[in-house]
Structure 1
């Protein structure tokens, strides 16, 4: 991976004769033939900090954020501008370098700040956009800012990825989505979940994809952002759940033992009666409840823990299993993990990937795995992309993993082929 030491520059307090940030950003784009990623990041609850500690402390906090981000991105080719407490950063390089910079940005703001003897803990929301071919810089920045707005409005996700659709706005995508389900453009892919000890594929997670007629395949982040904008979150969730369950029910015998995990949103849980609706969908699909896992994010349960726990207990009583998704981000309260009726704890990809290179993150991961084991929960690590990550997880007792090390999200034909080859390797010779 190419690295270039270049610390971030601020819009204010510059020395006479230095270039403006906009010029730096333009220079970076001109020099980055291998691509550009825009990252827009803002701390959460910053207004509360100003109200609680005063504007002077707030200003010092923004300076501290600036310094920490500069350190985290010093090895990347980057140029940044600051507006209030919002930072807009351009990173030169191919997509994997941009992704690594986003991870570094998120990690930089995870730890508390010490300001005038006060310990201030901040969360962060991040909007990300990858520059499309011949896309103007201002359009790229607008898409990243739009993604940040939806990250701020989300119920748990810390980042949003803008549509990689040659600059098409989220409003336009929302308008398209009204017709997309009728035209059967919304599909699902299935990412395998693999047992860490024997390498056997035991289940899959169903992930939404949008086969847009002009923009090609759009991922779940873009699809969910468009659904939020269009007010179609409920309809989309119903559609994706039903489609995933029907498809899994129709798989051939080679896949009949695989579990299928479907995502359940906060809106799903709040709808009455959620449990009967969900179980009716399972029944209509013709799939055994014992093969179905409901994956619920932490944010979906935080407002009404008792009601969520009651609903999840009812699903388990009917034979379904329950997974707590994206553990390690958002709220991550161990108190409610112990109280909820769960079967799986899913470790967020950011922790999975950071644990290989960071000793402190390894300690956190070890603690999470130990707690899960003590509670009788299986663990699924997301975002496993390297053999080093797999070996680390296996050595520390993680149960399952999913990620590109095994396979990207697959259509039915590719999944059948992968599982069939996997079974052939297991047969005695």
Structure 2
């Protein structure tokens, strides 16, 4: 029985996709739910799996081809396929490998390093092999003994004017996701009247609170207490006080949102993605930390869905985890503002006429001046600063 393998149904915000990688070739036996092909869209990579045991018969779309929603990619023939007798011995390891479930990132690393997935110890859910499992396997694998050195050729003097040694260049096409990110960032700079205002916040109160309760917090909620949840809650409270910062621009209309959906920028191997925390006003610190942790894990494994990144009324990006001391974040259209966090660094500060060493962080708020006046932008950033320097305000709503 022949079955058409179709591209996933894309949402309205995604016009088309690109065939990224075929994991099976025509004539190759496939097991049910085994990955056939990756479809890369502007936002995420979608996986198309085998509907049953059988064989991939014909492929209509090659790697790099653009496909539309529900477009036919290939023809699949259902039914068990018997391996040829002479190849029975060789087929056994392959069958064992086919039973192993790998994340997309793990599969990529395994293929690049010729690692048999069946030899990797799995730590993921339902026996899934994760990227970390493959990396740890490579680290623990014994290194091959160096080959016997070949007789050295007679040394020759280098030719004057020619480069010495290899000068390797590698040209690869830009991924669809990274191309979309580049396009949106350029459009944001060209279409918006973008300005950035800066301030600094004393992180000692939050750090003291975290140090006091982090063990109890993790014991009760099962998740570690980080800094991002404090920033999300502080930003949410500030957004309620300054609705223009929580608004968006749609043509000539200004859209004010009566809710706070905060996007948190996550760096992945394929590029920067911004999954969205929904209704952060009703989320606890533990719920925020848990959701962000889930976003980060699924982002690394390529498992973030399109729904995870739809919408959003405000964005927070944290360059401090990479050591950035100060930067100018670029707007995430159609949003009108984005908050940039940075590295926490001890600096001498004047407190009541005395020089005190405090853990300080620079904050940056980029905003669209078409929608937000400078006064509102500065007051918004000061509100976040005040809430973080006195975390009790977050609980007392003052």
Query: Which structure has the highest helix share of the two?
Result: 1
Q: Same fold (TM over 0.5)?
A: no
Q: TM-score range by the shorter chain?
A: under 0.3
Please give the TM-score of this superposition, normalised by the length of structure 1.
Answer: 0.24
RCO (CA 8 Å, sep 6+): is it higher in 1 or 2?
Answer: 2
Please give the TM-score of this superposition, normalised by the length of structure 2.
Answer: 0.26
